[in-house]
Structures are given as C-alpha cells and as structure tokens.
Amino acid sequence: MKKLYIETYGCQMNFADSEVVASVLVSQSYLPVSHADEADLILINTCSIRDNAEKRVLARTRELQSLKKQNKNLKIGIIGCMAERMQQELFKKLEGVDLLAGPDSYRNLPQLLAQLDAEERVSDILLSTSETYEDIDPLRFQSNYISAFVSIMRGCNNFCTYCVVPYTRGRERSRPLESILKETLDLQKAGYKEITFLGQNVNSYNYTDEKGKQWRFPDLLAHIAEQIPEMRVRYATSHPKDISEELIDVMAKYSNICNSLHLPIQSGSTVVLEKMNRKYTREDYLKKVEMIKRKIPDMAISTDIIAGFCGETEEDHQMTLSAMKEVDYYYAFMFKYSERPGTLAEKSFDDDIEDDIKGRRLQEIIELQQSLSLEHNKRDLGKTFEVLVEGFSKKSELQLFGRTPQNKVVVFDRGEAKPSEFVKVIIEDCTAATLMGRLV
Ligand code: 5AD
Ligand code: SF4
C-alpha cells in the first residue's frame, strides 16, 4: 500500500475536495497518513484567492521537496486553484513537483499517477462544465464525525472584478439532488449531527430531475431539512443578490436550519460595489438585511470585507465601517485587496491604494469588528441556547465546546455532557470570540 498525505489550504470547498481526492485514491489502495515524512505521495490542495495564500504554498512546497532526499520514490503534486491558475509556471518555480491537477481533474488522478511511471511530469488542468463528483463518496479522513461539509454546486459565474475563482474553478454547475440526499442520509446513519451545504454560490443551485422538476436552492434546503429533522443544516456561501424572501421563509419554517447567514458585503460603498461588479448597491444590501431580520430576529449575520480596492476613497472606507455597524455583523473575514493576475480588475483598474493605507483601513475594520462581535456576544448573556457539542475545550479536559445555531462558539463545564450531543447552555460570560456558559 502506498501512503498518501494531503495538505489543504483555502476555503471549505477545498477541504471538501480533499475528501473527494482521498476517496479516489483510497480506491486505488492508497492509505491516508497524517505526517508528510511517511508519505509516498504528497498532494497540496491550494488556494489562489490572494497573493499571500499562494506565497505560503510555494514556501511550504519548497520545504516538502526536501523530503525527496530521504525517499527517492516520493511524488509531489500541486492540486486545486494554483495548479489551474499557474499551470506549467509551477513546474518552473518548484523543481520537486511531479504532478499538477486542477479542481475538475481529481477523477483522473489514478491515470495521472500511472503516467508518472513513464513521464517525468504530468498535468491535467482541464476545467469541466459538468463535473460535480456526484458519485464519489468523500472520505472524511480528518472528520470530527459530528459535522460534515456536503458540496452541492461548483464554480462561479459572477465575475466579481477582483476575484480569480471563476478562472480557477470554472462555470457553475449543480450536483444532482438525489446524490446530495443520499450523501446526507448516509451521514445521518453514520451518526453525524450537522451538515453544511457548500458551493461558491449556493443560491445559484439549479437542478432539473428526471421527472422534469426544477429544484432551486430554497427547494433543496426545504427538502433536505424535512428529511433529516434531527440534523442541523447550514450553508455557505450566498451572494447577496440571490438572497430571496422565499429562502428566508424556508429558514424560518424549519427549526433545524440554523439561524446564521454568511453574506459577504465586500464594501459598503455603492461606487466600489459597482466597480467590483457585485450587482447590488449598499441600499439593496441593507434592505435585504432588514428583510432577513424582520423575518428571523435572532439571525446572526457574518461577512467578508475587502479593504483598499482600486480607487477606494476615505469616504468609501467610512461607508464600509458604517454598513458594518448598521448590519451588526457577529463575525467577519477581513482582507486587504490583493490584485490577481487575469482578473478584470487587474486588466482595467489601477491597484492604486498604497499598502500602508490598505493596512490602516484593514486595521480599522478589524477593530470595529472586534467591538461589534463583543457587543453581539454581550447581548447573549442570560440567554439559553441549544448547543451541539463538538469536543473538549483547548484549555481543559473538564470543559467542552460547541456551537449555538447562530454559529457562535460556547465553552462550558462538561458535567454529564459528551461530544456529539445537543445540550442547553445558559450564557454567563463572553469575550469577542467566545461565549462562556453553564449546562441547564
Ligand atoms: N483580494 C482580497 N480579497 C479577496 N477575496 C476574493 N478575492 C480577493 C482579492 N483579490 C475575498 C472576498 C471573498 C473571500 C472568499 O475572499 O472577500 O468573499
Ligand atoms: Fe469570487 Fe464573486 Fe464568485 Fe464569490 S461570487 S467566488 S467573490 S467571483
């Protein structure tokens, strides 16, 4: 048996893809191992979203290459978005790399590896318009056996001007409902308590079944939530332009669909949003948030924000800060704009905001979010939540941690509770990052 080591960078979709890759290779009698120095095959599943993500992978791969001195048969592959974006350039930059496979080529990995017996270097970076890996049962090799990702669609058609994803992951396509349902029911049988539907753009889900019935995302969500009432359901990511009242009504109707929503705003300025090709204005976005909060008052909303996009003025930046306060995000992923080769922004706009200004704006965004998160958490003091226990707290074996439906982490003294159980916890204290509570 050959030993396989996979290291994953980037988004949740990449982590889900690594489980597909593991499944494909285990069926070819590879054995997953958890240390690179034991492996005969190292695959690095990569992310191109920002320059620093790519730099990290390049440095790490240089480090891993040195393992070839000990093990002459070791093969190293770069898979995922960087393989797709950089192609043969990666072979030039990294002499120890033997294989490249793009996000739609994982089915072909066994053939590529077989080719490596005869050829020095192999690659497959063809994108597909239909691949969803619907018949491959992901091998959950790094799972907590409580919570799992289920991929429902791939690719993106939105072409936000800053974003490399439409180029590295190709066009949108939806996985058949039947295979999503089967995977979900299998997870339930295996004892999982929570699933998160994944896609670059889950709201674009669109599948027509054999009877000619069309399934959009709210239909899928409602159908699955009904089939697995004991399991929690989450999803990510949603494009604000596609959030509909129908979707929020489905979330309100099923108590097992969690009241948390990741809704990337990117910027609070309509001028910047237009330049980003986000297809909504500040007002559109805020109106949707109002609708969401009206229908589901305890919905917790998180976001992604980019600081220092091309031409962003101080006033635009202030608009971002004010939108953050207005929405009252409980959490945010915050980034400095990083120009990506091949994107529309790279071709049409000047990356003209100095790095120190980007840094200062990002810092202001981070500091504001810290205080918003703290205030959000303080409002939970005294409230009781249903918590899905995920494991032992990092600090003490006597404490457990889990998540509320709003996706907030709660730490509490373990009492009789065990991982994988649903328990009720009353919140007694908090920081910006964590709630602390007591079992009731
Ligand atoms: N620079 C900085 N952040 C980016 N993102 C996407 N592309 C870029 C870029 N070029 C951010 C967006 C997106 C998240 C996944 O990454 O906020 O929602
Ligand atoms: Fe990138 Fe925009 Fe597509 Fe998200 S919706 S993956 S930010 S192009």
Per-residue confidence (pLDDT) for residue 408, from 0 to 100: 98
- The atom number, within ligand 2, closest to the CA of 157 reads 3
CATH number for domain 2-124, candidates 3.40.50.300, 3.60.15.30, 3.30.460.80, 3.40.50.12160: 3.40.50.12160
If we measure between CA atoms, which residue out of 330, 326, 319, 322 comes closest to residue 409? Answer: 330
Residue 227 makes CB contacts below 8 A (sequence gap 6+) with 181, 184, 185
Is residue 292 classed as helix, strand or coil in its secondary structure? helix
User: 264: Cβ below 6 Å to ligand 1?
Assistant: yes
Residue with the smallest CA separation from ligand 2 atom 1 is 163
Helices and strands (H, E) in the chain, number of each type: 14, 21
Return the DSSP state at 384: E
Tokens of 327: 């929405």
Please state the atom number of ligand 2 nearest to the C-alpha of residue 159. Answer: 8
Q: Identify which ligand lies nearest to the alpha carbon of 153.
A: 2
Angle between the 177-189 and 217-227 helix axes, to the nearest 10 degrees? 30
pTM of full prediction above 0.85? yes
DSSP 194-221: EEEEE-TTGGG-EEE-TTS-EEEHHHHH
Fold category of 294-378 in CATH? Transcription Regulator spoIIAA (3.30.750)
Q: What pLDDT score does 264 carry?
A: 98
Structure tokens at 54: 């790519």
Which-ligand-closest: CA of 160?
A: 2
Listed residue (98, 13, 91) closest to 48, CA to CA: 13
Name the segment(s) of the chain with CATH classification 3.40.50.12160. 2-124
Which pLDDT does position 368 carry in this prediction?
Answer: 98
Residues 6+ apart with CB under 8 A from 268: 282, 316, 319, 320, 321, 322, 323, 324
Q: Ligand 1: which of 51, 162, 272, 273 to mutate, judged by most atoms within 8 Å of the beta carbon?
A: 162
- Nearest 10 degrees: CA dihedral of 179, 182, 186, 188? 110
Looking at the CA of 264, which ligand is closest? 1
Q: How far is the CA of 75 from the centre of ligand 2 (A)?
A: 33
> How far, in Å, from the CA of 190 to the mean position of ligand 2?
33
Kindly give the confidence (pLDDT) of every residue in the chain, 440 residues in length, as a single tens digit, with 9 standing for 90 and above.
999 999 999 999 999 999 999 999 999 999 999 999 999 999 999 999 999 999 999 999 999 999 999 999 999 999 999 999 999 999 999 999 999 999 999 999 999 999 999 999 999 999 999 999 999 999 999 999 999 999 999 999 999 999 999 999 999 999 999 999 999 999 999 999 999 999 999 999 999 999 999 999 999 999 999 999 999 999 999 999 999 999 999 999 999 999 999 999 999 999 999 999 999 999 999 999 999 999 999 999 999 999 999 999 999 999 999 999 999 999 999 999 999 999 999 999 999 999 999 999 999 999 999 999 999 999 999 999 999 999 999 999 999 999 999 999 999 999 999 999 999 999 999 999 999 999 99
Task: Give strand ranges (E) for 242-326.
Answer: 260-262, 300-307
Ramachandran area for residue 351 (φ above 0: left; ψ -120 to 50: alpha; else beta):
beta
Q: Residue 38 has what DSSP assignment? A: G
Q: What is the pLDDT of residue 346?
A: 98
The whole-number pLDDT of residue 439 equals 98
- For 302, the 3-state DSSP assignment is strand
pLDDT at residue number 179: 97
Q: How far is the CA of 306 from the centre of ligand 1 (A)?
A: 6
CA distance 161 to 266: 12
Amino acid 372: pLDDT: 98
Distance from residue 338's CA to the centre of ligand 2 (Å): 14
DSSP reduced 3-state for 399: strand
- Where does CATH 3.30.750.210 sit in the chain? 143-258
Distance (Å) from CA 264 to ligand 1 centroid:
10
Which segments of the chain belong to CATH 2.40.50.140?
384-439
Question: Which of ligand 1's atoms lies nearest the C-alpha of 305?
Answer: 17
CATH of the domain spanning 143-258: 3.30.750.210
Ligand whose nearest atom lies closest to the CA of 346: 1
Distance CA 419, CA 182 (A): 25
Comparing CA positions, the residue from 118, 165, 400, 171 lying closest to residue 264 is: 165
- Evaluate: CB of 306 within 6 angstroms of ligand 1: yes
For residue 225, what pLDDT is reported? 97
CA distances from 18 to 14, 292, 340, 416 (A): 6, 34, 24, 35
Ligand 2 first shell, C-beta below 6 A: 156, 158-160, 163, 165-166, 200-201, 239
Residue 335 Cβ inside 6 Å of ligand 1? The answer reads: yes
Ligand 1 contacts CB of residue 165 (under 6 A): no
CATH homologous superfamily of 384-439: Nucleic acid-binding proteins (2.40.50.140)
Ligand 2 mean position to 435 CA, how many Å?
Answer: 31
CA–CA distance, 180 with 15 (Å, rounded to integer): 17
CA 318 to chain centre: 28
Which ligand is closest in space to the CA of residue 167? Answer: 2
Q: For 180-217, b where at least 16 C-beta lie within 10 A, e where not — what string?
A: bbebbeebeeeebbbbbbbbbbbbbbebeeeeeeebbb
Q: Is the Cβ atom of 278 under 6 angstroms away from ligand 1?
A: no
Q: How far is the CA of 195 from the centre of ligand 1 (A)?
A: 25
d(CA 182, CA 188): 10
Nearest to 261 by CA among 273, 250, 269: 250
